[in-house]
A and B are shown apart, each in its own frame.
Chain A
Amino acid sequence: MSSSDDYEALSRTDHAPGDEPAARHEIAEGIVGYLIGLGLAILLTAVSFFIAGTFLVWRPSIPIALVVLAIAQIGVHLVFFLHITTGPDNVNNILALAFGVLIVFLLIIGSLWIMYNLNQNMGPMPMG
């Protein structure tokens, strides 16, 4: 099967993760897509690095701001680099991603929650 056959199939069935959207056949359009992604990623990264060292904002808010910026940047990477979209040809990719995100959150939030609780309930250990 030639690759052009593969691209024909792409437009009428599912979308392979990582592939350009089927409508975007021109080389220039593809490069513009990656450039937009690169620009947004650089912007979000620059804001993250700036915020981490600044005293212009209320310091206790910085960890939350950094996490929000990171999640936004991961979204930019997923859309512009991995071409995971919300289109009907992407349902399988999105469902797999949603399940992965669920497990990731269970693992991280669950671990932090349990370990914090254990630390609270455990008295200071005798040294030596």
Chain B
Amino acid sequence: MTAFQAGADFGDGRREETHGPRPEAILDHADPAAKRIIAGYGFWIFLLSDIIMFSAFFATYAVLSGETAGGPSGKDLFNLHNVAIETACLLLSSFTCGVAAIGARAHNGLMYYGGMAATCVLGLGFLAIEIHEFTGMIAQGAGPTRSAFLSAFFTLVGCHGVHVTLGTLWLLTMIAQVFAKGYRADILRRVLCFALFWHTLDIIWVAIFTVVYLLGAGA
């Protein structure tokens, strides 16, 4: 609702009386939100749509998890010891990513670069274990073409792995951008969006280790 809808302005100072808030009262709230809020909100909408895409993969996996076509099931394949280490990597990386976000806000180089470097190392550690798990499964004939269960498994967990890979590339980009351009407002908005992205990957991993690994290994 604009000021013109609230009361007709005759252009000569007179103003038609209307019910409802005065135009000035509306204009008090009409200042645009800070770019940081708009960028963060827009990226939040993107992340929710990404979560909806993952939920389709989760639904597919849940429907197909029993369809092993005589091949190995989750119980035969999953190594919960590795999954626990992967989970520890991602949980700790969420904390170090938070430290980096605080460092970026406080313009504290030690916290920002240290936090980002630790996040990068933990993300790469996660990826190394996951790639080792995938190549091991394919080597023993349990690749994505073996059964509907394994197709759904590699699609869901692999899609998360691709996200972590892209997130790690984005992380390195943000280290380079802050190093080259400093703590500028536009760079800090990108750091905010990166942190949101990284924390969201952790949320999706919580669903994966519960639905895929713990339920799959126990059932």
User: Is A70 in contact with B210, judged by CB distance below 8 angstroms?
Assistant: yes
Chain B neighbourhood of A38, CB < 8 A: 91-92, 94-95
Q: A16-B192, A52-B214, A112-B63 are in contact. Are A35 and B95 (CB under 8 A)?
A: yes
Alpha-carbon distance between A17 and B189 when the two chains are bound, in angstroms: 11
Chain B neighbourhood of A107, CB < 8 A: 52, 55-56, 59
Binds A, one of B5-13, B117-125, B161-169, B195-203: B195-203
User: Is B195 in contact with A5, judged by CB distance below 8 angstroms?
Assistant: no
Q: A13-B34, A111-B59 are in contact. Are A82 and B218 (CB under 8 A)?
A: no
Q: How would you classify the secondary structure of chain B's contact residues: helix, strand, loop or mixed?
A: helix
Cross-interface CB contact of A63 among B56, B106, B207, B215, cutoff 8 Å: B215
- B85 shortest CB reach to chain A, Å: 11
Could you say which interface size class chain B belongs to? 35 or more
A-B contact count (CB 8 A): 166
- A2 shortest CB reach to chain B, Å: 6
User: Is A52 in contact with B34, judged by CB distance below 8 angstroms?
Assistant: no
Q: A103-B52, A104-B51, A107-B55 are in contact. Are A13 and B195 (CB under 8 A)?
A: no
Q: CB-CB contacts of A35-65 with B at 8 A, as 1s and 0s? A: 1011001100100110011000000001100
- B55 shortest CB reach to chain A, Å: 4
In the complex, residue of chain B having the shortest beta-carbon distance to the beta carbon of A63: B215
Alpha-carbon distance between A86 and B32 when the two chains are bound, in angstroms: 22
Q: CB-CB contacts of A15-37 with B at 8 A, as 1s and 0s? A: 11111100000010011011101
Chain B neighbourhood of A30, CB < 8 A: 98, 102, 105
User: Is A53 in contact with B80, judged by CB distance below 8 angstroms?
Assistant: yes
User: Is A49 in contact with B214, judged by CB distance below 8 angstroms?
Assistant: yes
Cross-interface CB contact of B196 among A1, A17, A37, A62, cutoff 8 Å: A17
User: Is B63 in contact with A27, judged by CB distance below 8 angstroms?
Assistant: no
Q: CB-CB contacts of B9-36 with A at 8 A, as 1s and 0s? A: 0000000000000000000000101111
In the complex, residue of chain B having the shortest beta-carbon distance to the beta carbon of A68: B210
Please tell me if B40 contacts chain A, counting CB pairs below 8 Å: yes
User: Is B59 in contact with A112, judged by CB distance below 8 angstroms?
Assistant: yes
Q: A10-B37, A100-B52, A107-B56 are in contact. Are A18 and B91 (CB under 8 A)?
A: no
- A102 shortest CB reach to chain B, Å: 10
